[in-house]
Amino acid sequence: MDYTKFSVEDFAANESFIDWVNQSDPEAVKYWELYIAGHPEIAPVVEKARTLVINLKRTEDIPEDDTQIQSIWAKIEARVEHKQTRVSSNRTRIAILASVIIVVSAGIWWQLQTGDSSPAADLYTYQNKKDNYAEQINETGKPLRLQLADGSIVTLQDKSRLKYKSDYTNVTVREVYLLGDAFFEVTKDPYRPFIVHTNEVLTKVLGTSFRIQAPEGARNIIVSVKTGKVSVYTASEDAEADDTKEGVILLPNQRVKYERAEQLFDKELVEIPEVVNPAVKSTDFNFDNTPIRTVFKVLEDAYGVEILYNEELMEKCFITAPLGSEPLFEKLKIICQTIGANYEVIDTRIIINSSGC
């Protein structure tokens, strides 16, 4: 079969091609990989078609919340057990609406009770922001998952609060105000950046996941990045004035500690870096007489970190170690032990000290 004249939609509609993209049929995988390797000229069209197929899957949303599923099941059970006639769903809608009102008004009540009583300056700054925003205060003792109108998900830790807009359709910038600790999974939208205000620090992204720890009155504000790219910078109250914003760019597995008193940004690796490359499997860390150059390359690719070492000096180092899912620093420890080296972390980089093998 000659696919060189195929268009994007020809590929995307081809059933065997879809099986390759989904990696659901080994035969198709083998076939397409071989075919594409032999016809590099079709690569751009293939890549577009592949992207289209992947995205058609991603655009779908499956509801997170189970209440609807459970309420339908309850009606099925009632009818099965008691031979009742159909209970139409209109009634449940009213029930759901009622529970929302209760939750929201409870939130307002809490704010009235505590709003004036706290002397903390941070709380004061936060409270004075955006009266027209909705607010979520987490007093549940456990993390609270919140979906914003733009699809972004915020996991708000206990004793943390967030102000957000109930509708982001007509804004150029998606802004929220945080007091406390939260994990953000931001929906991509290149035209409308997402900005988290935490006192004097702003975290700006287009779509990614990251965590911010900014408890009221704390000395440091910490922003850690899980996926994507994030820029963190300060802004004085009269923000328009200064063009030269102080700030840093963060990549996955990096975090920045902003020392509020000194107004310093301190960039470092997160405590437990995670594998950021989805193509990497734990078996890729099974090293068998592997040159050190390859070993470090595998780690760099998997964790998105930078490893510095003297290549010439360590040329004759080979590693045999069946590593797998242990954390990055554990892996480094084992590797260094086998060749009598040691490592240190400086900023976001890992430095290997070795006198050769």
Partner 1 sequence: MYTKPENLPGDPLWHAFKNGDKASFARIYKEYAKLLLNYGNKVTSDKTVIEDSIQDLFVELWQNRATISETTSIKFYLFRALRYKICRNIHQNEFLNFEDIDNTSEHFDHAASIENFFIGLEVQALQANHLKSSISQLPKRQQEAINLRYYHNFSNEEVAHIMGVNYQSACKFIYTALRTLKVTLRVSFSSFLIFLNFFSIYMD
Footprint of partner 1 (CB under 8 A) = 7-9, 12-13, 15, 18, 22, 24, 48, 51-64, 68-69, 72-73, 75-76, 79-80, 86-90, 147, 149-151, 153, 185, 187-191, 193, 204, 206-209, 227-229, 231, 247, 249, 252, 276-279
Of 212, 210, 232, 208, the C-alpha closest to 222 is 212
Closer Cβ to partner 1, 156 or 339, answer by number: 156
Closer Cβ to partner 1, 62 or 101, answer by number: 62
Tell me the two tokens of residue 156. 């708000």
Closer Cβ to partner 1, 276 or 341, answer by number: 276
Cα 226 to Cα 159, 201, 229, 319: the distances in Å are 23, 19, 9, 29
d(CA 221, CA 30): 49
- Shortest spacing between CB 27 and partner 1, in angstroms: 15
Provide the pairing of β-strand 342-346 with 247-250. Answer: unpaired
- Shortest spacing between CB 151 and partner 1, in angstroms: 4
d(CA 122, CA 245): 21
What are the helix (H) ranges across 207-327? 292-303
- Shortest spacing between CB 61 and partner 1, in angstroms: 4
Closer Cβ to partner 1, 135 or 150, answer by number: 150
Closer Cβ to partner 1, 191 or 237, answer by number: 191
d(CA 187, CA 153): 8
Residue 48 DSSP SS3 = helix
- Shortest spacing between CB 347 and partner 1, in angstroms: 17
Closer Cβ to partner 1, 81 or 237, answer by number: 81
- Shortest spacing between CB 15 and partner 1, in angstroms: 6
d(CA 3, CA 117): 71
- Shortest spacing between CB 277 and partner 1, in angstroms: 6
